[in-house]
Structure 1
Amino acid sequence: MHHLPDELVLQIICYLEPEELINLQHVSRQFLRLSRDNNLWRSLCFEHSAAERRRRRMLPTTDLDPRLVELIRAANDVANAFPFGVHDPSAPSADTQVQRNVGKRRAALLANWDPSYPGEKVDFYQEFIQRHAPHELRWFQEAKHGSQDDNLRHEATGAGIVYGTDGLAEKLVAPLEDGSVCVWDASAREGQLGRIVARSAVGLLPGKGSDLDMDTRLRQSRAAMTETGAIECVSVDSRAGKAFFSVQNTLNEVDLHTLQVVSRAPYPFPITALSEARHPTPLTVGTNWTLHLHDSRAPPSTYTPAAGASRCELIAGAPSSPSFSRLKTGDVGAHVSLAQPGALSIAHLPTAREWDANGDIWVAGRFTSLLNFDRRYFPRLRGTVHSGARLSCLAALPFPFVSRSSVSKHGAAAGHTLVAAGEYKGKGSLELYSLSTDPSRGINSSDSRTTRNSQACYHNRQTASASKLLSVAPHGTRLVFSDGDGGLKWVERDASAAVRSLNINIDVEKAKPGVAQRGSEPGYGDIVQKILPTADTSLHATRPEVPLGQDNLILWTGDGRLGVLGFGQPAEEEWKDAVEEWEGEAAEERGREREYAGRMREALEMQAREMRWLRGYGL
């Protein structure tokens, strides 16, 4: 096999099953490289996809009614450009033509299924693992308090990730209910993942200092940290090494190197949402009734409704009359006053992207429309997009949402996809909106008829789950979202085709020992409030290559637990070539044989000399 060309070996091993291919990787470096061929695993991902399995089940068989067989064959011929049949079955080349048609049809089906965008680099070996390999949920080490015998722990009230320069998670930062900030190791180092590496003083975020006794500090801190219940209450600026934590109506800026509060900015109402923090872009802060731009470099300013407020009356409901006389924040410019509470999620789009007729800031919440702002003209509202659902989470993909037919006809255009998850009439709602550079295929928030345009690419799936969706995030070439029943579901980028699912209350019995506390188990009826990918690739037009086993998900549950969800077996620290190892063992065995033969020769020669010496004495 070592003397065969790689192309021929690849044609042979393509008939193996995935389990056999994985075992073949341990034979030699050549087989390791060939067994991870990207096109090979792309084909395996397609063959094991739900859409292909469903299509194969619908193929006509001899057990069906002949009339139904003809109907299915006709439907397949209409739906596919390359039918199986030929015009003249008696022709000498009929069999060859059938085989060619089968290959062309399979290539067309594979191209139609391929979830990757033009120019996107996808590791389909890792994709197959994340789609079909067994899952593994490992809980992070718990922050204990009180006596060890009491088994008491502090619950996390939020979560944020510190990413390294390679875009991979290094640390997990979370505020605890006692008002402290805790830092865990979120890297993929063996034996360190999930361990607490630093923790601040109790009462740091709510400002409960050592002038109070410990019981009072704990009681008052717990009341302040759990009063608002905001999900998007943590935002981490990995480049600047700082994090923002919202506690009631105060925004705390914390230096992650010293775990000390650098500044506090008060707001007129409880903070309900924070955007991502990415220097030097200002942070967008959402409260129950207002929206603000926060720049920690700017000095605090005082605003009044006449000078700095922009009223947003686009959503039906009774207008409020909040007083801004005590408003003194770190805002840049003015603020927006909402007519209905309250903002729950804020998404920032890259400022360097190509123009797509929309602004940089998208806001969603309990109101039934998406609000769009251009940071250059803030607080002026650029436009809205009607959803009808009450949204709880926003995410962005670095590619526009377009149908396959649009790609084949017009080619791929630059842009982004805005993903929104929430609740519509008691059911989970998952929505996709195309922010394409092509005006004919992207939505425009300033156009009130945007969702009525048949050419605009958007998708509204109002029955994604039986319960409300709580969080959504991109994961490889898929979307993953959580619902109110404790479920996690993966779908293709069309938001419709199911990939896999699990429930943290049913499918996950307990955490893996050695990473978190032993015996740590999720509570009955737990939910996933927030999903955090360990690979920060959502805003890159071309996804960088993520090392195998490091594209995982960090989960923050309703019980205040933190865990990492991975798939498959962890990668070996030191991979060994079986052939080289065998050759090395054979060489070592030959060396031992030569050493043994040499010693035996020396012993026999010594015995011969002794015999000659004794013979000289007549013995």
Structure 2
Amino acid sequence: MRHLPEELILQIIAYLEPEELVKLQYVSRQFLNLSRDNNLWRLLCFEHSAGERRRRRLHPASDDMDPRLAELIRAANEVANAFPTSVHDAAAPSVEAQVQKNVGKRKAALLANWDPTYPGERVDFYQEFIQRHAPHSMSWFQDAKHGHRDDNLHHEATGAGILYSEEGLADKLVAPLEDGSISIWDASASNERQGRIIATTAVGLLPNKGSDLDHDTRLAQSQAMMTETGAVECVSIDSRQKKGFFAVQNTLSEVDLQTLQVVSRTPYPFPITALSAARHPTPITVGTNWTVHLHDTRKPPSVPAASHCELIGGSTAASNSLSRLETGDFGGHVSLAQPGALSILHLPTTREWDGNGDIWVAGRFTSFLNFDRRFFPRLRGTVHSGARLSCLTALPYPFVPHDLRVHRPYVNAAAIKEAKETPGHTLIATGEYKGKGSLELYGLSPDPTRSINSSDARTTRNAGACYQNRQTASASKLLSVAPHGTRIVFADGDGNLKWVERDGSTPVRHFNINESAAGMGTRTPANANANAAGGAGVGEDIVKKILPTVESGVGSLRSVDVPLGRDNLVVWTGDGRLGMVGFGREGWDEEVWFDAVEEVESEEGRRRREREREFAGEMRRALEMQAREARWMRGYGL
């Protein structure tokens, strides 16, 4: 068989199942290369996709289909006449060749309709298939501990950010802890130390509680400050300058990640609730409960007195009006009439002008705020969503209208190609609408027919350039969203991670992090099991933030190949844990981090921790009951 042309071998191995193709890779280097042919795995991804499986189930030739329904579907196909599989002259000598040609055209059209890639985008479909269908693994980063090792105590993370390498791959995971310190973990999949703590700072660094206080006082005051605001987007990492920006209450601390020393502290008039991405030399956008600011790291920090402002009339009933979302400029920042900003997105300034600004702000208000950095703090306009949004991200690809993508096998492939070749970006938002999850896609493009447009009129929005999935996304609020390969992944309030196609509705896969914590193919250390059985409780944790281990590259198309097994997800949970979701491989062995001495506990310490777990469990049940009552009341419009 080695003497056969590679094209012929590819035609033969195309009949193999994915499991058999993986085994074939071990035969020789030649079969390794052939078994990873990108077009072959692209076809396998299509054939195993949810949309194609559904189409095959509804095919008139399906054995499971009711004959009457099959006849109706066959009649509809004949009326559409888009991809005829019959021939005009059944007695013609080339009838079989014509039928096969028509079937090939139909399959090519279906494949083009499904294809999630864009012109210029390089995708490894072998890795795509693994991430779509291979078993997942959940690995937890090493706990950050303090105190005597016999107490086996650890602190929860109050945020998370990733320091990327020059290649755009995750190198370090950086997180502030509730004791006011900063810990750094090795997040590189090419390092055997992956998942371990490699550096940590002193207690009280971020809240500025120094050594003039005793340890217990410093610890107590730091915990009170670090856990008061509860902002999700409170960490921003600048991978270019190796700096981290951490928000604690109303202070933004700039930290050199190489020396782990605070470079500057900048106070703001209200508690900080959101930070944009940090990418030098672009200024960071800082959102507080009532204001939005630009923070330029090249300027020296201002004195506290210069940052003081007073909000007048922020709690009046008239604050519900969209016309009061921007009430003026007070000292170079915008004052909001509705609290508060929860997520801030920067779009690249080098893109072709599309009529929209560079800064998008979303939060508890029901509209996006759009600012042009050149004219900040003047509000350029708003786009009404109707949902209370919690997270914003973007794809560096144009928005494809929903009617060209979902369950439309008869759409002309040329129309899809034209939509994908149009320059632009896709804005992605998640949040809550009437108690249910909302996943929303908006097009930003120089072509006005394919773009929403934020303006001062606040009334213009192209209905054909947006899609809002408020039916099948989730029964609970969506908390975070991120692009992952050719898919979109989001987390909901029930602890689920869900992947959908770029159309925003076609499901790919999902799992619950609590099922993984309960032992579904993952290793969980002894103290993590104790946390899950006590304060956290199996089935009660949620994902608050999703961090891809491959830099998203909103500003440009990704044209480099991602090494196999490196495109994973880091998650920060509601219980302050940090984990990594992988596919097709076992997670790292966490048992090596715990020696016999660390697992020994005194009887008194064991009883104390048992009481703490019981109290935490009771508090969690009370809060869940309160949340259920609130959702129930919202159903009656209250």
TM-score (norm 1): 0.86
Which stretch shows the higher mean deviation, 58-67 or 262-271? Answer: 58-67
> Partner residue of 2:38?
38
> Partner residue of 2:514?
505
Structure 1 residue 437: deviation in Å? Answer: 1.9
Q: Is the 8 A contact 1:142 1:517 kept in 2?
A: no
Structure 1 residue 508: deviation in Å? Answer: 4.2
SS in 1 for 2:221: helix
Distance 2:433 2:103 in 1: 43
Structure 1 residue 2: deviation in Å? Answer: 1.4
Distance 2:64 2:342 in 1: 55
Q: How does 1:54-453 map to 2 (within 5 A)?
A: 54-61=54-61, 64=65, 66-78=67-79, 81-301=82-302, 302=306, 316=321, 334-403=332-401, 404=404, 406-408=415-417, 412-446=421-455, 448=457, 452-453=461-462
Which stretch shows the higher mean deviation, 274-283 or 98-107? Answer: 98-107
SS in 2 for 1:530: strand
Q: Give the residue type in structure 2 aligned to 1:400.
A: P
> Partner residue of 1:556?
572
SS in 2 for 1:505: helix
> Partner residue of 1:478?
487
Question: CA 1:280/1:111 → structure 2, altered by over 3 Å: closer, same or farther?
Answer: same
Structure 1 residue 510: deviation in Å? Answer: 4.0
Q: Give the residue type in structure 1 aligned to 2:339.
A: P
Gaps of 5+ in 2: 311-317, 405-410, 588-638
> Partner residue of 2:16?
16
SS in 1 for 2:580: strand
Distance 1:504 1:513 in 2: 11
Structure 1 residue 487: deviation in Å? Answer: 0.3
Structure 1 residue 383: deviation in Å? Answer: 0.6
Q: Is the 8 A contact 1:395 1:418 kept in 2?
A: yes
Q: Is the 8 A contact 1:473 1:532 kept in 2?
A: yes
SS in 2 for 1:212: coil
Q: Give the residue type in structure 1 aligned to 2:265.
A: R
Q: Is the 8 A contact 1:233 1:246 kept in 2?
A: yes
Distance 1:392 1:63 in 2: 43
Distance 1:390 1:319 in 2: 17
Q: Give the residue type in structure 1 aligned to 2:466.
A: Y
Distance 1:392 1:80 in 2: 45
Distance 1:209 1:512 in 2: 43
Structure 1 residue 81: deviation in Å? Answer: 2.5
Q: Is the 8 A contact 1:138 1:512 kept in 2?
A: no
Distance 2:458 2:400 in 1: 19
Indicate which of 528, 546, 551 corresponds to 1:520: 528
Q: Is the 8 A contact 2:328 2:335 kept in 1?
A: no
The count of corresponding residues between Structure 1 and Structure 2 is: 559
SS in 2 for 1:263: strand
Which stretch shows the higher mean deviation, 36-45 or 101-110? Answer: 101-110
Distance 2:445 2:574 in 1: 36
Give identity over the alignment, percent: 69
Question: CA 1:27/1:264 → structure 2, altered by over 3 Å: closer, same or farther?
Answer: same
> Partner residue of 2:617?
none
Distance 1:267 1:56 in 2: 58
> Partner residue of 1:545?
561
Q: Is the 8 A contact 1:511 1:518 kept in 2?
A: no
Q: Is the 8 A contact 1:154 1:178 kept in 2?
A: yes
Q: Is the 8 A contact 2:393 2:429 kept in 1?
A: yes
Structure 1 residue 18: deviation in Å? Answer: 0.3
Structure 1 residue 316: deviation in Å? Answer: 2.1
SS in 2 for 1:362: strand
Question: CA 1:513/1:147 → structure 2, altered by over 3 Å: closer, same or farther?
Answer: farther
Gaps of 5+ in 1: 307-312, 328-332, 572-619
Distance 1:505 1:27 in 2: 39
Indicate which of 544, 560, 579 corresponds to 1:529: 544
SS in 2 for 1:506: helix
Which stretch shows the higher mean deviation, 443-452 or 527-536? Answer: 443-452
| 1:522-548 deviation per Cα after TM superposition (whole angstroms, max 9, x unaligned) | 532000000000000341532221100
> Partner residue of 1:568?
584
Distance 1:80 1:108 in 2: 13
Q: Give the residue type in structure 2 aligned to 1:343.
A: A
Q: Give the residue type in structure 1 aligned to 2:399.
A: F
Distance 2:528 2:85 in 1: 55
Q: RMSD value over aligned CA atoms?
A: 2.7
Distance 2:277 2:3 in 1: 54
Question: CA 1:510/1:209 → structure 2, altered by over 3 Å: closer, same or farther?
Answer: farther
Q: Is the 8 A contact 2:326 2:334 kept in 1?
A: no
Which stretch shows the higher mean deviation, 93-102 or 375-384? Answer: 93-102
Distance 1:190 1:546 in 2: 16
> Partner residue of 1:460?
468
> Partner residue of 1:488?
497
Which stretch shows the higher mean deviation, 289-298 or 444-453? Answer: 444-453
Question: CA 1:120/1:156 → structure 2, altered by over 3 Å: closer, same or farther?
Answer: same
Q: Give the residue type in structure 2 aligned to 1:49.
A: S
Q: Is the 8 A contact 1:155 1:560 kept in 2?
A: yes
SS in 2 for 1:358: coil
Q: Is the 8 A contact 1:430 1:461 kept in 2?
A: yes
Distance 1:320 1:418 in 2: 21
Distance 2:527 2:228 in 1: 30
Question: CA 1:284/1:542 → structure 2, altered by over 3 Å: closer, same or farther?
Answer: same
Distance 1:364 1:320 in 2: 12
> Partner residue of 1:582?
none
Distance 1:78 1:205 in 2: 68
SS in 1 for 2:294: strand
Distance 1:23 1:80 in 2: 42
Q: Give the residue type in structure 2 aligned to 1:31.
A: F
Q: Give the residue type in structure 1 aligned to 2:389.
A: L
Distance 2:111 2:238 in 1: 40
| 1:369-419 deviation per Cα after TM superposition (whole angstroms, max 9, x unaligned) | 000000000000001000000000000100111234653456621111110
Q: Give the residue type in structure 2 aligned to 1:537.
A: S
Larger Rg: 1
Q: Give the residue type in structure 1 aligned to 2:174.
A: V
Distance 2:527 2:26 in 1: 34
> Partner residue of 1:25?
25
Question: CA 1:171/1:79 → structure 2, altered by over 3 Å: closer, same or farther?
Answer: farther
Q: Give the residue type in structure 2 aligned to 1:258.
A: T
Distance 1:458 1:378 in 2: 26
Q: Give the residue type in structure 2 aligned to 1:418.
A: L
Q: Is the 8 A contact 2:268 2:308 kept in 1?
A: no
Q: Is the 8 A contact 2:480 2:545 kept in 1?
A: yes
Distance 2:81 2:364 in 1: 44
Distance 1:194 1:187 in 2: 8
Distance 1:59 1:104 in 2: 17
Distance 1:212 1:410 in 2: 62
SS in 2 for 1:231: coil
Distance 1:450 1:414 in 2: 24
TM-score (norm 2): 0.83
